[in-house]
Amino acid sequence: MPSLGEVIAQLHVALQLIGNARAHLTDANSLLDESSQLFTQVWQTSPNPLAAQTLAAVSEAQQAIADRHQGLESATNAVQGYLQGLGADSTAASPPQGN
């Protein structure tokens, strides 16, 4: 059975990884915003059904990202609350680079 210190250390690593995931989701959403703007400019008056389908798909992807981001925020809050209950620092250190 891991010690309390080991559990706390592992939870901090998990918070770092969640922080990385949230940052990547934010980056992905920004890229989708740019794509959506370009699609809108190119296909603004297009009668092609592909235009509407593409914009709808991008919008759905953005909503999925927002949902995942919210889920990760909830997980972060839960872990931080648990750490606070243990009397431990509830903030994650800087996320590891390259993940």
User: pLDDT digit of tens for each residue in the chain (99 aa)?
Assistant: 989 999 999 999 999 999 999 999 999 999 999 999 999 898 888 888 898 899 999 999 999 999 999 999 999 999 999 999 998 888 765 444 444
* Domains defined for the chain, CATH in brackets: 4-85 (1.10.287)
Place of tokens 């890229």: 31
**Would you tell me the crossing angle of helices 49-85 and 4-43 to the nearest 10 degrees?**
160
Distances (CA, A) of 73 to 20, 29, 52, 90: 12, 16, 31, 14
Distances (CA, A) of 1 to 6, 10, 53, 83: 10, 13, 52, 18
The CA distance from 23 to 69, in Å, is 9
